[in-house]
Each structure stands twice: as C-alpha cells, then as structure tokens.
C-alpha cells in the first residue's frame, strides 16, 4: 500500500495498486513533476493530444491536497469575482471566470466519459450565509446569470432551515450544476486513464535536481532521470526547493477535514439533503454527507502552521456543534490535514518559467475545477492549440514575502475571522 495519510478517502479507496519508482533513463515528450490533480489533468490532456508523458510523484498519486480535500467541485477561484474584476477589469475577469466554469465541466465530463463511478458524484452545493442579506445574494445570482449564463436558485431562510436545521443560517444560493466527489478515487482513476493511453507514472520518485537550460530537459530522482522536451511543475502546496523561484512564490496553508462515525438517525435531525453546504466566511465551514448519508464529512479552518494541531478533531468538532448543537457528542472516526498552495494574489499561477518549462500551481482552496482548466490550458500551450494560458498572465509568480508574508496571511485571516464574528453577532442580536 502506498504511503497515504489515514483519512476517510484512504479507508474507502477503490484502487489500491502501487506504481514503481523511476529507475534508469526514460524519455518522453513531457515530464510532469507532481501527480496531484494539476499534474494528472495536464498529463491526461497531453496524452489525449498525442504527446507522451511521464509523471514523477514523490509519494503516491493524489497523496497531496488532491486526495484529502472536501470534494466540492464548483465554479470560481480562491479570489472572489468582484475582487478579480477590480484587479483586471470586467471583461478579462469574465473570461477567467468562464474558464473556471469550464474547469468544473471538465471534471464532470471525465467522470462521465471514463465511467468513474467510484468518484461517487452527488449534485448540488448550497452557499449559505450566517446573517441576513437576501439582496446581496440576489445581486450575485443576477450577475452570474447575466454575465456567465450560470443559473443559481435563491432559497429563503425558512426553506434553508428545513434542509440545514440550524438557527445560524439565513438565506442561501443553491448551485444545482456544482457537485461533490470522492477526490482520491477521482485522482486514481485519472492516473489509470493516463496509463491506458500510454503515459507512465512513477511513485516514490521525488525529483531532486533539474537541468532546464538545454533543449533536452533533464529531471533526476535518486534512482533515475527523465529526459523530455518540456517540463511542467505541479507540486501544489508541497512544492519544494527543486526550483527556488517556484517555492518562493508559494504560501503553503494548512486546512482540516474530519469524518464522523456512522450516525444516520442523528444526522437526519441536522442535515436533510445530500447536497453539500458551505458558508461565505473567509474561514468557511464546508460539509456534506458521505457513505450514502450515514456519515458527515466536515472541513474548515486555515492556518499558516503546517504541523498538525494536537486537538485537531476536537477543534473541528466544536465548529460542528456551533452550527448544529443537536450533533453534540457525535464521535469522530478520522481527522486529517492537507496543504494548499496560495499565491499572494490568491489566483492560480499558470504560465511559463522559461522556454518549454511550465508551472501550474497556486490553486488555493478552490482547486478541483481550477486544476482541471489549468491542466487543459497548459496542454494547449504545449501543443500549440491555443494561447488561453495567457489569460492567467496578470497573476504571475510573485514572491511570497518570506516569513513576513506568512505572518501577514495569518493576521489577515484572524482579521477576517473577527469581522465574520462581528457580522454574525449583529445578525443574532437583530433576530
């Protein structure tokens, strides 16, 4: 068994096959460093376009954020739409947002075309708010419909509380096209599809040195090397110092997930929908029923500390009972953590480091759709089929600011937490 952390996903993993480590010299058109969803989508798109690929993965396919996340697949980026428009203007922001919708559709299409039933796709995501703001939600809904032809359903508070039985909640938007999945099974199925198309994947194969300046790029592990015309770096929040400029542009941020014991009757008193839910706070809670509705998978909190907190399960359990006091005392079966990669501008960093050396990372907490479109536009750039990758040019590899940058992120997060708390207090005293 490959070295995964213990999580609900590893306990329910459908494909447990391991893969060999790289040995000797291997050749391919493209070498991809990192087999998370960014690397896997890039590889699959390239293999489909007739290019041979080799993926090098330091641990195992989907070992990083891609196999540990909440499983929410929805449009958008870590950076909100309004902020995106403010930064680059309405039209470029509209086109980027449309790419994020395409990213969601790529995941849906892969699941359908490759018959990935183990991805356990369930439709629908509620975006709920913890204060009164029907007008704000309606404005957002109208904007998405008019500019992106993307429909959302508006739900009034009483209807929301019938499905999500919590007095913390007010209105919501239901996105019927968004969905949730078992992300590790999805990642493993993409790997199998790459191999079925002739691509090769090596696990336990950390790239430890590179020569990038000659026409033939060389990527070395301790036991072998890959020679390729192109290299794509897709190390996400686990990006190491292999290419210092890439590491220096990432802020790894930890976030947490747990899954409860099987308690279908108790859960039915709190969550009466198979759609997933998340709120709009910076440190949003996000959750969904899994295991055919018998268990609750719950995620939340972020921190710049990358070590696992001692009281992880207890910390998250408090978030559950804050929203659903009726679930007090529910037992936790597994709790785990993962690293997301953020750039200071909160947008993916998809582009070219130097000729034929590409990077596709920085997907933050919104990676399921954005890794898919990231992989596709990198593949299109390599094969010369489009230059859509240029739409990401405004958001390049900016320096993360070193330790001061990390501290600034933590402070901003606490500031947002305090603001969210105040907004909720006001809602509670008004109600």
Q: Which residues bind ligand FAD (CB under 6 A)?
A: 33-39, 56-59, 63-66, 68-72, 206-207, 234-240, 242, 255, 257, 299, 338-340, 361, 363-368, 371
d(CA 390, CA 397): 14
Q: How far is the CB of 234 from ligand FAD (least distance, A)?
A: 5
Minimum CB distance to ligand FAD, residue 344 (Å)? 16
**With respect to ligand FAD, which residue has the nearer C-beta, 324 or 363?**
363
Q: Which is nearer to ligand FAD, 266 or 289 (CB)?
A: 289
Q: Which is nearer to ligand FAD, 210 or 266 (CB)?
A: 210
Nearest approach in angstroms of CB 88 to ligand FAD is 21
Q: How far is the CB of 7 from ligand FAD (least distance, A)?
A: 9
* Least distance between ligand FAD and beta carbon 183 (Å): 7
Nearer to ligand FAD, 252 or 267 (CB): 252
Paired residues of 286 in beta bridges: 278, 299
Nearer to ligand FAD, 330 or 339 (CB): 339
DSSP string, 287-340: EEEETTTTEEEEEEEEES--SPPTTHHHHHHHHHHHH-GGGTTPPEEEEEEEEE
Least Å from the CB of residue 200 to ligand FAD: 14
Asked if residues 154 and 142 have their Cβ atoms less than 8 Å apart, the reply is: no
Measured from the CB atom, the residue of 70 and 270 that comes closer to ligand FAD is: 70
β strands within 129-192, DSSP E: 153-155, 172-180
Q: How far is CA 156 from CA 24, 172, 426, in A?
A: 62, 7, 19
Nearer to ligand FAD, 138 or 406 (CB): 406
Give the closest residue to 122 by CA, choosing from 64, 53, 183. 183
Helix H segments across 329-397? 367-383
| DSSP assignments along 88-116, one per residue | H-HHHHHHHHHHHHHHHHHHHHHHHHTT-
Name which of 281, 266, 265, 254 is nearest 321 in CA terms: 266
Cα-based angle 38, 141, 430 (whole degrees, multiple of 5): 110
The answer to whether 33 and 242 have CB atoms below 8 angstroms apart is yes
- Rounded least distance, CB 269 to ligand FAD, Å: 25
Cα 70 to Cα 366: distance, rounded to the nearest angstrom: 10
- Which of residues 33 and 266 has its CB atom nearest to ligand FAD in the complex? 33
Q: Which residue has the closest beta carbon to ligand FAD? A: 367
Q: CB nearer to ligand FAD: give 330 or 335.
A: 335
Tell me how far, at minimum, the Cβ of 135 lies from ligand FAD, in Å.
Answer: 27
Question: Least distance in Å: CB of 62 to ligand FAD?
Answer: 7
| 369, 104 Cβ separation under 8 angstroms | yes
Report the relative pairing of strands 53-56 and 24-33 from DSSP bridges: parallel
């Amino acid at each position: 068994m490959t070295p995964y952390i213990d999580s609900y996903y590893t306990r329910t993993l459908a494909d447990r096959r391991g893969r060999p480590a790289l040995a000797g010299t291997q050749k391919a058109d493209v070498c991809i460093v990192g087999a998370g969803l960014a690397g896997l989508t890039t590889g699959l798109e390239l293999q489909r376009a007739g290019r041979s690929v080799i993926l090098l993965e330091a641990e195992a396919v989907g070992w990083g954020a891609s196999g540990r996340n909440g499983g929410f697949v929805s449009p958008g980026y870590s950076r909100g739409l309004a902020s995106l428009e403010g930064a680059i203007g309405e039209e470029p922001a509209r086109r980027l947002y449309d790419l994020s919708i395409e990213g969601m559709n790529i995941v849906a299409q892969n699941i359908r075309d490759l018959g990935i039933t183990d991805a356990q796709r369930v439709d629908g995501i509620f975006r709920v708010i913890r204060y009164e703001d029907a007008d704000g939600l309606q404005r957002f809904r109208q904007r998405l419909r008019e500019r992106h032809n993307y429909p959302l359903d508006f739900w009034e508070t009483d209807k929301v509380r019938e499905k999500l039985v919590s007095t913390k909640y007010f209105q919501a938007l239901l996105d019927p096209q968004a969905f949730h999945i078992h992300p590790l099974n999805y990642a493993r199925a993409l790997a199998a599809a790459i191999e079925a198309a002739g691509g090769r994947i090596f696990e336990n194969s950390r790239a430890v040195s590179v020569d990038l300046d000659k026409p033939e790029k060389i990527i070395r592990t301790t036991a072998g090397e890959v020679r390729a015309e192109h290299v794509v770096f897709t190390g996400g929040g686990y990006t190491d110092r292999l290419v210092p400029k890439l590491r220096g542009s990432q802020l790894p941020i930890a976030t947490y997930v747990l899954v409860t014991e099987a308690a279908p009757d108790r859960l039915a008193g709190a969550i009466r929908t198979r759609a997933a839910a998340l709120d709009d706070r910076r440190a949003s809670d996000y959750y969904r029923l899994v295991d055919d509705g018998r268990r609750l998978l719950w995620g939340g909190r972020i921190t710049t500390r990358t070590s696992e907190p001692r009281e992880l399960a207890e910390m998250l359990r408090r978030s559950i009972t804050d929203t659903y006091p009726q679930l007090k005392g529910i037992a936790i079966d597994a709790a785990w953590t993962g690293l997301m990669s953020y750039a200071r501008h909160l947008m993916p960093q998809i582009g070219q480091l130097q000729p034929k050396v590409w990077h596709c990372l920085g997907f933050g907490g919104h990676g399921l759709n954005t890794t898919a479109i990231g992989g596709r536009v990198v593949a299109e750039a390599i094969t010369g089929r489009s230059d859509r990758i240029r739409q990401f040019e405004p958001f390049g590899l900016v320096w993360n600011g070193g330790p001061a940058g990390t501290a600034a992120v933590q402070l901003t997060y606490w500031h947002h937490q305090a603001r969210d708390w105040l907004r909720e207090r006001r809602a509670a005293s008004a109600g």
